[in-house]
Chain A
Amino acid sequence: QQQVKQSPQSLIVQKGGISIINCAYENTAFDYFPWYQQFPGKGPALLIAIRPDVSEKKEGRFTISFNKSAKQFSLHIMDSQPGDSATYFCAANPWGGSQGNLIFGKGTKLSVKP
């Protein structure tokens, strides 16, 4: 119940294309869902986050879609750029719990080809 399952493990997209990464969870107590971006040699950094009172959140080219009934959420990167090449982690935790005590997915390595 504490797992967050992320797919795909790796993704190759052409420049200008749409990158889609999916995550699923089981624990209905989870109500905070961030995505972190990690470049090689760096620590993860918060990219965008959503709470389940909305079904979608958009920040620039990055959009989170949330399906509460299916217990799934996804990250869409529109007009993908080579600079987006990184590893992306979805995560979850109960908002009422210790914030920052996140359960992370295994990560998706995104490569955007020029």
Chain B
Amino acid sequence: DAGVIQSPRHEVTEMGQEVTLRCKPISGHNSLFWYRQTMMRGLELLIYFNNNVPIDDSGMPEDRFSAKMPNASFSTLKIQPSEPRDSAVYFCASTRSTGELFFGEGSRLTVL
């Protein structure tokens, strides 16, 4: 079975540019989560969806961040405009409500 698929794996961009990260959850999973990982703050939950509906976006740092889940097999996390402090590894994870989160391999973002 394919796991959670994220793209791109690496992204280097300049400050002010728009960044779009993509995620394909595991088929059959009804919840999807976006996490951000940094050395300083560890793993932070940004937003999660249940049955494609955003449930809690309180972790989204500011209005520059937005996330969508147009269908059960695809989600995006967009940063516009990007800033150097957004540099981090962004993880997507999904679950079938069993309590076990399945993470993708992450998208490493560097904003210059």
**Which residues of A are interface residues toward B (Cβ below 8 A)?**
32, 34, 36, 41-46, 49, 89, 95, 98-107
Contact = CB atoms under 8 A, between A and B. Distances in A.
Given A32-B99, A43-B106, A49-B99, A101 B43 contact: no
Contacts of A42: 105-106
B99 A43 contact: no
Contacts of B104: 43
A100 B101 contact: yes
Contacts, number: 61
Name the prevailing secondary structure of the A interface residues.
loop
Nearest to B94: A100
Contacts of B97: 99-100
Interface string B82-112: 0000000001010101111111111000000
Size class of B's contact patch? 20 to 34
B75 interface: no
A45 B31 contact: no
A98 B43 contact: no
B105 A99 contact: no
8 contacts: A41-B105, A42-B105, A43-B106, A98-B31, A98-B48, A99-B98, A100-B95, A107-B42
B92 to A, nearest CB: 8
A105 B41 CA distance: 10
A102 B98 CA distance: 13
A41 B106 CA distance: 8
Nearest to B40: A106
Contact of B43 (A32, A34, A41, A104): A104
B45 interface: yes
A43 B45 contact: no
B10 to A, nearest CB: 10
Nearest to B4: A43
A53 B80 CA distance: 46
A89 to B, nearest CB: 7
B6 to A, nearest CB: 8
